[in-house]
Amino acid sequence: MLNKERLNFIVEDVNIYFEKLRKISPTKENLNNDEKFLSTSMAIFQILNRMIDLADEIVKIEKIGYPLQIKDLFTFLKEKNIIDKKLERKLKDLVISRNKFSHRYGNINKEEILLILKELDSVKNFIKVILAHLNKK
């Protein structure tokens, strides 16, 4: 059963956190500021969590399978041709980044943050792909 309200809520959350990132405007220089660093880190973490939530919802809707690991969600979506191989790889890399935030938060440095920021367009692309897929239904 397609829960459009839940999916819209997830997408809305992602957009809110992207807007927060835009307002923070993280740069190599201002990430030396603890407040900017922490707020940027939290916004990224939330975007990545919601990316995973969206993948999980689609896997459930499509009844594709039961993941053993978070990364399996994106494997399932690739196997069903919902996302392509390139996007699958980028999203799996972002899951690894998300896990760094989750499990070793204090060890994330500004260089890692800047690298992750460069890859966040993959989340926007993922949302576009998912919405296009759902509109076909």
Q: Which domains does the chain have, with CATH numbers?
A: 35-136 (1.20.120.580)
Report the candidate in 41, 60, 133, 127 with the shortest Cα–Cα distance to residue 87: 127
- C-alpha–C-alpha distance, residues 104 and 113, integer Å: 13
Report the candidate in 57, 119, 46 with the shortest Cα–Cα distance to residue 87: 119
Q: What is residue 35's predicted lDDT score, i.e. its pLDDT?
A: 95
- C-alpha–C-alpha distance, residues 53 and 94, integer Å: 13
- Indicate the pTM of the whole model: 0.93
Amino acid sitting at position 122: S
Structure-token match 């500004």, residue found: 110
Give residue-wise pLDDT tens across range 100-130: 888 875 688 999 999 999 999 999 999 999 9
| pLDDT over 70 at 2, yes or no | no
- C-alpha–C-alpha distance, residues 7 and 126, integer Å: 13
